[in-house]
Amino acid sequence: MSSRLRAPAGPGCDLNEYIGRLLVVGLLGVVCLPGVAAAAGDRDRANSETKETAKASMSGRPDSLDGAWAEAIGSSHRLKASRKSTESAREIYSAAKATRYPTVTAEGGHVWLDEAPSAIVSLPGLPGLPVALDDQFWAGRVTASVPLFTSGRIHHGVAAAKAGYSAAQAGENGDTLDLKLGVADAYVKVLRAMRGVRLAASSVASLASHSQNVANFYEKGFVAKNDLLASQVVLADARQREIQARNALDLASASYNRLLVRPLTDLVTLEELLPPPAAGDVTEMTVRACKERPELIAIGYQAEALHREAKSVRARALPSMGVNGSYIYLGSSLLQRDHVWMLSVVGSWDIFDSGRTRHKARAVDDRAEAVAALGEEAKDGVSLQVRQAWLEEGETRRRLEVTGDAVAQSEENLKVAQDRYRTGTGTNTEVLDAETLRVRSIGNHDNAIYDAVMAAFRLRRAVGDL
C-alpha cells in the first residue's frame, strides 16, 4: 500500500490530491477492521473445532490402515463365509483321504421264529452259511474291508479333492484381498471427506470475512449494493457446500465402520496416508500377477480337480481288488461252535456298461477344458487390469506435481485480489473468482493425493500382493 501512495514530487503535483488519497486509505483501513475481526472470529471457531477433534482423537488412538485391515479380516461376515467354504473343502479332502484306509461295519440282532425249522437253512444276512436254528437266537457279524487296488480311482479322487481344497484356499485369499481393498477405499474416502470439510470451512471463513468487508464498504457508500448481494450469495453457497461436506464425512465414516463391523455412529479418527514410491516395470508386474493372482490360481486348481475327477470316473470301470475279514456269531444251542472267522480277497471288473462310464468321464473332461479356457481369458483380463492400474498410478503422480504448484499460485492470487479490492483498484468479482479458484485448486490437489494413494492400492491388488 505504501509503495503505491508516495509523496508527490515535481512541479506538476497537487498537495491537496495527495492528502485526499491519504484520507481515503485511512478510512478504508478503518472500514476493514470489522471484517478482520470477523475473520478472526471464524478462525477462533475453526481452532475450537480443531481442539475438539483433537480431544476426541486423544480418547482413542487413531486407526492405522494396517490395524483397520486386521480388524476387518477378523470380523468381516463375508470373510467368515469364505472361511467356512474353505473348511468345507478341507473336510471333503479329509473324507477322500479316508477312503484309502480300512472300514469296519457291525450288524446283529435277536431273531424270534414261530417254531424251530426242521431243516438246515441259510440266513439272508449270512449268505453261504447254512445252520440249524432254534426258535429264537442272537446273530451278529463284524466285517473289516481294505482296498488293495482300485486302478487309480481312490488316488485320483483324493487328488481331485485336494485340488478343490487348494482352489477354495485361493478363493479365500482373493476375498481377503478384495476386503483389504474395500477397507482401503473406505479409509481414503474418510480422509478425503475430512479434507473436504476443512476446505469448505476455510472457504466459509474467507468469504465471511470478505462479505463483512463488502458490507462495511457498502454502509460507507464506497461500493454498490450489487457487490454486497454477490458476496452474500457466494457465502451462502459456500455454507451449503460445508453442510454437504460434513454430511459426506458422516456417510464415509459410517461406511468405514460397517466394513470393520463397528456401530455406524462410532467416531472415526485416522492416520494420514501419503502416496508411496513410484511403481516398477509394468511387464514385470504383469508376469507376477499371472503367477500370484488368487483368481488365476483358483481357476487352475478347479481345472485340475475336474481332470482328476474324470480319471477317477474312468477307473470305476477298471479292475479293483480288496480284502474282507469277518467275524460271525450265531447263538444256536444246536451248534457246537457258535462263531466263525472268515477272510476273503474280492475282485471286481465292470467289463461292459454300454459306455456310461466313458461318457461321464468325457463330460467331466469337457468341463475341465471349459474352466481352463476361462483361465486363459482371465489372464488376459489380469494383464489389462495391471496395465490400467499402472497407467492410473502414473497419471496421479503427474497430477500431484501440477496441482501442487496451482495451490500456491491460487493462494497468492487471492491475496493480490483482496489487496486490490481493499485499495479500490480491484473488483468484488475478482475476489470471488480468486476464492473459487483457490478452493478448486486445493480440492484438485487433495483429490490428486488420495487418487495416487488409491491407484497404488489398486495396482497392488491387480498384481496380487496387497
Q: Identify whether residues 169 and 267 lie together within a single domain.
A: yes
CA atoms of 230 and 65, how far apart (whole Å): 44
Contact of 163 with 304, CB cutoff 8 Å: yes
Q: What is the DSSP string of 297-337?
A: HHHHHHHHHHHHHHHHHHHTTS-EEEEEEEEEEE--TT-S-
Q: Identify whether residues 139 and 195 lie together within a single domain.
A: no
Give the number of domains in the chain: 2
Q: Identify whether residues 142 and 69 lie together within a single domain.
A: no
In a domain, 8, yes or no: no
In a domain, 4, yes or no: no
Q: Identify whether residues 289 and 411 lie together within a single domain.
A: yes
In this prediction, residues 285-291 reach a mean pLDDT of: 93
Strand ranges of the sheet holding 320-330, from the earlier edge strand across to the other edge: 103-112, 136-149, 320-330, 339-348
| Structural domain ending residue among the three candidates 352, 374, 405 | 352
Per-residue pLDDT at 354: 87
From the list 244, 197, 212, the residue with the least C-alpha distance to 46 is 197
Per-residue pLDDT at 60: 62
pLDDT digits (tens, 9 = 90+) for 28-59: 343 343 443 444 444 444 444 444 443 433 34
Q: Identify whether residues 415 and 277 lie together within a single domain.
A: yes
pLDDT digits (tens, 9 = 90+) for 222-251: 888 998 999 999 999 999 999 999 999 999
Q: Identify whether residues 57 and 185 lie together within a single domain.
A: yes
Domain limits for position 342: 102-116+128-149+319-352
pTM (predicted TM-score): 0.77
CATH number at residue 108: 2.20.200
pLDDT digits (tens, 9 = 90+) for 402-440: 898 899 899 999 999 999 998 888 899 999 999 999 999
Q: Identify whether residues 427 and 357 lie together within a single domain.
A: yes
Q: Identify whether residues 203 and 263 lie together within a single domain.
A: yes
In this prediction, residues 436-446 reach a mean pLDDT of: 94
Residue 126: Cβ-neighbour burial (10 angstroms; 0-12, 13-18, 19+): middle
In a domain, 185, yes or no: yes
Q: Identify whether residues 207 and 333 lie together within a single domain.
A: no
How many other CB atoms sit within 10 Å of the CB of residue 46? Answer: 15
In this prediction, residues 380-396 reach a mean pLDDT of: 93
Q: Identify whether residues 237 and 198 lie together within a single domain.
A: yes
Q: Identify whether residues 95 and 132 lie together within a single domain.
A: no
Mean pLDDT score across all residues of the chain: 83
Residue 340 has pLDDT above 70, yes or no: yes
In a domain, 186, yes or no: yes
In a domain, 123, yes or no: no
Q: Where are the alpha helices (DSSP H) in 60-112?
A: 65-75, 77-98
In a domain, 2, yes or no: no
CATH number at residue 455: 1.20.1600.10
Per-residue pLDDT at 9: 42
Confidence of residue 135 (pLDDT cuts 50, 70, 90): low
CA 172 to chain centre: 12
Q: Identify whether residues 34 and 155 lie together within a single domain.
A: yes
Per-residue pLDDT at 43: 43
